[in-house]
Amino acid sequence: MSDNLADIARSLVAKGKGILAADESSPTCAKRFDLVGIECTEETRREYRELLLTTPEASQHMSGVIHFDETFWQSTDSQTFPEYLKSQNIIPGIKVDKGLIPLDKFEGEKISQGLDGLKERMDKYFESGARFAKWRSVIAIGDGIPTPQCIQANAFVLTRYAAICQAAGIVPIVEPEVLYDGTHTIDSCYETIIKVYDALFGSLREYRVDMSGVILKTSMVLPGKTSGISINYDEVAEKTVKALHEHLPQDLGGVVFLSGGQTSNDAFINLNRIAKLGPHPWGLTFSYSRALQDPVLKLWAKDRENKKAVQELFANQLRLAGAASLGELNESELHDNTEATKSQDL
Ligand code: 13P
């Protein structure tokens, strides 16, 4: 595997492959385990992640895995998870932000934290096999928000993080998540997302970050989850692609989507329709947590001993997402549209 940042970014968004986000913090993991009646301990978290990572043939559709710090240092019976992934030609990644705190003086808005000591942490992760990282900021849409100050402050933090990653030889995934939660319209989501892209990419350029070694992790352009407006897949695809094509640099290393609390089916179909509107100037694929994992976690909770069935289900989720990333998903293959898990770090 090349250590060149642009090569790593290209491998992460290689055709038909995408990223598993398995970087839920321990409290978020506890919420998700709680919902399905599993006790959340260090060992059950390890056991569950091991099941996902060691799924046979996962590398066909999984280019990389994002870990939470605890999981990054955990092991199968013979190798650390990053060593195991590397042996499977899957790139190990690490979430490095330290969560969200209120943006003082801006009611209802948040800023991400974790820059202090970041270079030292990145050097340690690099030594132990990480070749990409993720940092999540959150932008909420509501009455009078987001403010330009919130967008700008988060863009700056993401930029500092990205520059530090690149200095450590690690590809930064910059994730300014525009929340699906809310009663806003799809147009208001579109307007917010393009402001966020403009601020973020303006700032990344200004601070001389190498775009070819950056991946954007973005929300899709959606009507708010509690707006009462149902998702029109073609409209989501058209508005998402318009925002991307008109506001992202051509030389960006890649684009990946979060699922953000959509059902698995919605997240797969929306990605499929977005991919169909290509060609796109960058590799474009999934970096899902809930959309890939929700049905898998439920099955595991029901039948802890049946490792084979759980891994087969996960492999199928990856296959569906991989097909969607190529615009080749047979949408009639999707079954019941189960309610997405609501728990996320807010
Ligand atoms: P979801 O796909 O569940 O939104 O998670 C992706 C992610 O990594 C959010 O930071």
Residue bearing the bigger pLDDT, 335 or 204: 204
Question: For residue 222, what is the DSSP state?
Answer: -
Say if CB 112 and CB 136 are below 8 A apart: yes
Per-residue confidence at 196, pLDDT binned at 50, 70, 90? very high
Domain limits for position 40: 5-329
**Domain assignment present for 298:** yes
Range 123-152 average pLDDT: 98
Say if CB 289 and CB 319 are below 8 A apart: no
- Whether residue 83 is predicted with pLDDT greater than 70 in this model: the reply is yes
**Domain assignment present for 87:** yes
Say if CB 16 and CB 61 are below 8 A apart: yes
**Domain assignment present for 339:** no
The residue whose CA is least distant from atom 5 of ligand 1 is 289
Q: pLDDT digits over 28-67, tens only?
A: 999 999 999 999 999 999 999 999 999 999 999 999 999 9
Phi, psi of 220 (to 5 degrees): -85, 165
- Whether residue 96 is predicted with pLDDT greater than 90 in this model: the reply is yes
**Domain assignment present for 314:** yes
- Nearest C-alpha neighbor of 272 from the set 327, 330, 331, 332: 327
Say if CB 90 and CB 318 are below 8 A apart: no
Share of the chain above pLDDT 90, in %: 96
pTM > 0.85: yes
**Domain assignment present for 34:** yes
The residue whose CA is least distant from atom 9 of ligand 1 is 258
Q: Which of 175, 177, 225, 239 is catalytic?
A: 175
**Domain assignment present for 336:** no
Q: Which atom of ligand 1 is nearest to the CA of 344?
A: 3
> What is the predicted pLDDT for the residue at 177?
98
Residue of 219, 288, 293 to test ligand 1 pocket, by largest number of atoms within 8 Å of CB: 288
Total count of domains within the chain: 1
- Whether residue 339 is predicted with pLDDT greater than 70 in this model: the reply is no
Q: Which of 195, 217, 225, 239 is catalytic?
A: 217
Say if CB 257 and CB 216 are below 8 A apart: no
Range 135-156 average pLDDT: 98
- What CATH number has the domain bearing residue 122? 3.20.20.70
Cα distance between residue 73 and residue 54, in whole Å: 16
Query: How far, in Å, are 28, 181, 193 from residue 346 at the CA level?
Result: 10, 10, 18
Per-residue confidence at 340, pLDDT binned at 50, 70, 90? low
Cα distance between residue 311 and residue 321, in whole Å: 15
β-bridge partners, 215:
173, 254
Per-residue confidence at 284, pLDDT binned at 50, 70, 90? very high
> What is the predicted pLDDT for the residue at 146?
98
Per-residue confidence at 92, pLDDT binned at 50, 70, 90? very high
β-bridge partners, 138:
177
- Whether residue 5 is predicted with pLDDT greater than 60 in this model: the reply is yes
**Domain assignment present for 118:** yes
Residue of 94, 95, 259 to test ligand 1 pocket, by largest number of atoms within 8 Å of CB: 259
Per-residue confidence at 2, pLDDT binned at 50, 70, 90? confident
Mean pLDDT computed over every residue of the chain: 96
